[in-house]
Amino acid sequence: MAAAPPDGDPPGNPARSKLDNLSRDDLIRFVKKQLEHVRLSKVAADTFKRTLEEKDSLIRDLEDEIAALRDSLSAERDVVSIHASAEVENGECANLVNEHVIEENSELKSEIATLKKDRIRIEDDLAAALETNSELRSKLDDALQEAAALKEQQTATDMVQLNKSLKEAQVALEACTAEKNELTEQLNAHKNSSDRVSTECSTLMAQLHEAKQELFEEQRRAAELQSSLDRLQDNFNVLATARNDERVAFEEKIAQNETLVDLLRRNAEQKQMELRSVTVEKDLLKTRLEDLENDYESYKSRARYVLEQKAQSSSEQLHSQLDLSAANSAIFELRNSLEALQLAHDEALREARRDRELREKAETAVRVAKAQTVETLDQMANVREELFNSNIMLKDRITECATYQRQLAGLEKKLYEENKENAKLIQTLRDDLAKKERIESELNEEVKKAKQRYHKAMNLLEDWKNHRTLPPSAENAPQTSVTERPAPLHPPAPVDVSPKASVFSAVQSEVQVISSCL
């Protein structure tokens, strides 16, 4: 039974929206859905935060690799300077090395293209390879130490060879001086051969000029490589500074977004508590309104009954009218309270809408930060590629490949020995397991036998108990127990006592043995 609306309720009240027509369960489901949206937004923000942390760790790994490449470049620069000083004495060797480096550069460029294609797959497997990376890093440190020792040994060997070559050159110079003296004597003796000697001198001067020109070209190429390295280093420093600034800005944005998410979460919790309290109060007021409406209907029926019967006094009629007016006023107050609660509920919905807009703005900021991070990573990848190409041009691939092949052969041999030892250990464990299984099967057989003995003893004990509960007239009947003989008919009592006692003692000892076995 529904009550009529109050007289002061305007027809176009803005509080009466679609939410007024919803039931209590629908309204609770709507509020839960809004809270679920807030929770999903928080989860998305946490996911974006973890993604940014992973990108920062990837940037740190790239910085470590760039530092390693820088160290390798400095080491290779020293090696190149040593090889350049050695190649000054032999120009043809320099040309061969340059051709070899150009060929390797083209091959390595193709390898770089292949590696770029595999980079995405490798990044997916990066998380699984972190544990292996630590072990390989320790092995790589050992290999680098061995390589440094080999380089020092090679440098010492080169110095010895250079000293030897210098001594040989000094001996040759002394021989040339002696030969020159002889030629001078021959020149004094043979003035007619002056043209030939002049021609040989001009040829030697031309060779000396070519050697000086080749030395100048080598020095110029070394200067160009050094300038390229300096330019790449400057570019890297600029990019590193820009990346640090962007990372600081990203961290500030992330902190702001986290603060905003926490604020939204607290607001959502507060709004949820307020909505819960408003819902409870609304339910209470609805209950009171229904009670008052029921009372009002009962009062109306009673008044109608009183008017029909006309059996009550005027004082009682006046009292009933007072009760009806009080009920109407209480209903009006409850309706006003319900409208106020509806307004508060609309305000809470507006707050939730504002919170959702703030959450969308935070998600947009996180997406922008993610795009900027991807752009920075692309720039770092380009710089890394340039440094890698420059490093490849300066490496002595032949020596390093031979060194790594020897190390790989040693590691494969060590791995083969370890696999062999592991195979032996696995075979030993299998033998032990088979032995344990045999022992376990034997123990199971013994347990089965012990259980059989236990059941047999329990049957004997049950027979003895049945025999003990028989009446005196039944004791003269023939007994079929397993361990006792048929008792004679005369005398009855003295002869039957000892078989019963022997059966009980045998059963008790058998039970004790089986219990100890179990």
Task: Answer yes or no: is pLDDT of 382 > 70.
Answer: yes
138 falls in which pLDDT band (50, 70, 90)?
low
Is 277 contained in some domain? yes
Task: Answer yes or no: is pLDDT of 493 > 60.
Answer: no
10-19, 132-141, 150-159, 435-444: which has the minimum mean pLDDT?
10-19
Q: Is the pTM of this model over 0.85?
A: no
pLDDT of 464: 74
Q: Which domain holds residue 367?
A: 22-127+210-309+341-395
Cα distances (angstroms) measured from residue 317 to each of 53, 297, 326, 327: 81, 16, 14, 15
At 489, phi and psi to the nearest 5?
-75, -30
Is 440 contained in some domain? no
Q: What is the pLDDT of residues 93-128, one digit of tens each?
A: 556 656 666 776 677 667 666 656 766 665 666 555
Tell me which H or E stretch contains 445: helix 397-468
Task: Give me the DSSP letters along 154-217.
Answer: HHHHHHHHHHHHHHHHHHHHHHHHHHHHHHHHHHHH-GGGHHHHHHHHHHHHHHHHHHHHHHHH
**pLDDT, mean of residues 250-273:** 76
Number of other CB atoms surrounding residue 305 within 10 Å: 11
60 falls in which pLDDT band (50, 70, 90)?
confident
**pLDDT, mean of residues 356-373:** 74
Q: How many helices (H) and strands (E) does the chain have?
A: 7, 0
Are the CB atoms for 82 and 154 separated by under 8 Å? no
pLDDT of 151: 57
Is 198 contained in some domain? no
Question: CA 94, CA 119: separation in Å to the nearest integer?
Answer: 35
Secondary structure in 3-state letters for 34-63: HHHHHHHHHHHHHHHHHHHHHHHHHHHHHH
Q: What is the pLDDT of residues 163-207, one digit of tens each?
A: 666 667 667 667 766 766 776 676 666 666 556 656 666 676 676
Is 382 contained in some domain? yes
pLDDT higher for 463 or 300? 463
pLDDT of 186: 66
pLDDT of 483: 41
pLDDT of 8: 42
Is 237 contained in some domain? yes
Domain count, the chain: 1
pLDDT of 499: 42
Question: CA 312, CA 308: separation in Å to the nearest integer?
Answer: 10
Task: For the chain, give percent helix, strand, coil, nearest 5.
Answer: 90, 0, 10
Task: Answer yes or no: is pLDDT of 80 > 70.
Answer: no
Q: What is the pLDDT of residues 308-354, one digit of tens each?
A: 665 555 555 555 565 667 667 766 776 777 777 778 767 767 777 77
* DSSP, res 222: H
pLDDT of 380: 72
**pLDDT, mean of residues 389-402:** 66
Question: CA 253, CA 261: separation in Å to the nearest integer?
Answer: 12
Is 352 contained in some domain? yes
Tally the C-alpha atoms within 13 A of residue 409's C-alpha that lie toward its C-beta.
5
Is 141 contained in some domain? no
Calculate what percentage of the chain has a pLDDT beyond 70. 43
